[in-house]
Amino acid sequence: MVIHKTPILAFILAASLALCAFSQAQDANSLIERLQGGIDLYSQGRWREAVGELRRVQANASTRTQKAEALYWISLSELSAGEYEAALRDMEAMEALDQANRRISELAYHKGRVYYYLGRYDEAIVLLKNYSDGIPSKPDGSYAPQNASKRASALYWVGECLYSLGLLDKANEVFLLITEEFPRSPKYEASSYRIALINQKRVEAELLGLLKWSHEESLKTMEEYQRREHAYDQALIAYQKRIADMLKDTRLSDLENENAQFRKELAFAQERISGLERDLQLALAGFDPDASRDKKARLEAMRDQASSLINEISSAGRSGR
């Protein structure tokens, strides 16, 4: 009896291939479900859970496109969670993995935001401006609603970068452009707020400058007042000295006049004394012991008077000096 093995082997092979295909289809469906589950977690704001689910998709992905898709949503979840360094690493990994991926252009916008949050404002401006300029417009220059929203969002983050760099005038121009050309954009309210804040900062800067000028003027006024006060004090001291000198000179003049008068009176008194002394000498020389006692007493009285006059004149001269 001859057994034909070829048809049996063919059947087994076909069954195996079908089973393999079915298994791969199941795996693909499971991967898609996991990917969608991760995206749903991201949409719900459960970003760290989304990262965990999407990491499993990345690990089990069989194609570059699948891995790139997982990395895209992982990076967005990390960006929303504030894990900017991790988000940047995954974005760069996605770019290196699949440059032709359909998400690459959108990734540039999100990467610009990451640069902003990392303080790399100049790099963010370049990336976001290139992204904004690459958004297609209609023939009349206007934008479709979805593209208008994208362009307004990119310009908004350019404005935020300029604002953070302190370039308030340029930032104000960008925010004004958004409010004027994209009034229905989700960034309209935020741009209007930034414009109001910039105007407030301008007023604050003007007031601060005015306050600084006023303070400087006050210091100048105070310095001038102190300088004049010092000058007045010096002048007052000089006037007081001059007055003292004048009073001193007047007193000396009065003393000199008094001394001259005393000298004159003293000379006159000395002449009288000299005359009395001469009379006394003559009287004594011719005095007779037998003369009357009254005459003798008068002569002694004259001598005492002369002595008293001398003492009086000397005392007056000392008190005058």
Residue 106 pLDDT level (bands cut at 50, 70, 90): very high
Question: Would you call 190 exposed, middle or buried from its count of C-beta atoms within 10 A (0-12, 13-18, 19+)?
Answer: middle
Question: Would you call 187 exposed, middle or buried from its count of C-beta atoms within 10 A (0-12, 13-18, 19+)?
Answer: buried
CA distance linking residue 319 with residue 317, whole number of Å:
6
* Structural domain boundaries in the chain: 29-102, 212-320
Q: Which of 125-129, 204-208, 283-287, 296-300 has the lowest mean pLDDT?
A: 283-287
- Whether the per-residue pLDDT at 187 is higher than 70: the answer is yes
How far lies 75's CA from each of 111, 156, 159, 283, in Å? 9, 21, 23, 148
- Whether the per-residue pLDDT at 37 is higher than 80: the answer is yes
State pLDDT tens for residues 154-182. Answer: 999 999 999 999 999 999 999 999 999 99
158 Cβ contact list (under 8 Å, min separation 6): 124, 125, 128, 129, 132, 174
Reported residue count of the chain is 321
CA distance linking residue 276 with residue 301, whole number of Å:
11
Averaged over 9-13, what is the pLDDT?
50
Concatenated DSSP letters for 213-262?
HHHHHHHHHHHHHHHHHHHHHHHHHHHHHHHHHHHHHHHHHHHHHHHHHH
Domain 29-102 has what CATH class? mainly alpha
State pLDDT tens for residues 50-92. Answer: 999 999 999 999 899 999 999 999 999 999 999 999 999 999 9
- Whether the per-residue pLDDT at 286 is higher than 70: the answer is no
